[in-house]
């Protein structure tokens, strides 16, 4: 039986040879690193890219709806890398094929804000891992402002080989561990609206002139249920998203 990658009828058969990767069985992995806002997911994504590149591996950085509004992966500690914007109509396999057509191998993908992927795009990532041995590292938030799984995150939970919570404690204003991303509009927690509304967790400007201010605040389960933002929200330094 011919090897899968030698089959000219296969949709992903155009992958170029990458040294010994053709000579030994290599398994690609699909990994999902998840956590609430402010836990360092983007920082970890860039660290993984750095470590992979140091070993001579070639990768692509992908993102959808970065907080900066640009096609880049942005860490809150100030590290930024240019990335490819993956909107809903993008077939991720085509991005890899385009590199193959240029004679460039693709060993791994870094996907930030993976919660915004469409479920079929997650399927495409799994196909790349299984059929052409690309390692895929996804980073994102598991649940939205209603505490319901994002469609992309749900599909990653269903398909990923490894599920890794990001091990950086994020605290509610009360001091307990927090993992719920409350959407706050004009100082009140809201529980209805569009699933995708990109904002950040930086401190609000006291001089803001906008009529409506939208931001997110990470809360423990109890205070998320109660919609309790704490006695002095402004003093918490909890996100400002306009």
CA distance to 87, 96, 108, 193, 237, per residue, from 68 (Å): 15, 25, 24, 22, 19
Q: Is 202 a catalytic residue?
A: no
- For the chain, what's the residue count? 242
The catalytically annotated residue of 85, 102, 113, 202 is 113
Non-local (6+) Cβ contacts of 69 within 8 A are 198
Non-local (6+) Cβ contacts of 118 within 8 A are 88, 151, 152
Q: How many CB atoms lie within 10 A of CB 225?
A: 12
What's 84's DSSP letter? Answer: E
The alpha-helical segments, DSSP class H, found in the chain are 41-54, 92-101, 119-132, 151-159, 221-226, 233-236
Separation between Cα atoms, residue 156 and residue 137, nearest integer Å: 11
Separation between Cα atoms, residue 53 and residue 36, nearest integer Å: 27
Separation between Cα atoms, residue 95 and residue 84, nearest integer Å: 9
SS3 162: strand
Active centre residues (catalytic): 113
């Amino acid at each position: 039986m011919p090897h899968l990658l030698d089959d000219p009828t296969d949709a992903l058969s155009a992958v170029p040879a990458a040294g010994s990767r053709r000579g030994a069985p290599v398994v690609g992995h699909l990994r999902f690193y998840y956590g609430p806002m402010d836990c360092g997911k983007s920082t970890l994504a860039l660290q993984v890219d750095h470590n992979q590149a140091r070993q001579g591996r070639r990768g692509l950085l992908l993102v959808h709806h970065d907080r900066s509004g640009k096609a880049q992966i942005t860490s809150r500690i100030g590290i930024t890398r240019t990335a490819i914007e993956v909107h809903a109509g993008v077939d991720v396999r085509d991005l890899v094929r385009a590199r193959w057509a240029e004679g460039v191998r693709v060993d791994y993908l870094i996907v930030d804000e993976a919660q915004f992927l469409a479920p079929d795009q997650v399927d495409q990532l799994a196909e790349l891992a299984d059929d052409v041995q690309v390692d895929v590292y996804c980073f994102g938030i598991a649940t939205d402002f209603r505490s319901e799984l994002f469609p992309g995150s749900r599909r990653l939970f269903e398909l990923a080989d490894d599920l890794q919570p990001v091990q950086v404690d994020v605290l509610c204003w009360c001091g307990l561990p927090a993992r719920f991303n409350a959407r706050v509009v004009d100082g009140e927690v809201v529980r209805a609206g569009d699933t995708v509304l990109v904002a950040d967790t930086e401190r609000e400007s006291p001089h803001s002139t906008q009529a409506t201010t939208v931001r997110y605040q990470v809360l423990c389960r109890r205070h998320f249920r109660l919609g309790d933002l704490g006695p002095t929200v402004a003093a918490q330094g909890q996100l400002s998203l306009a």
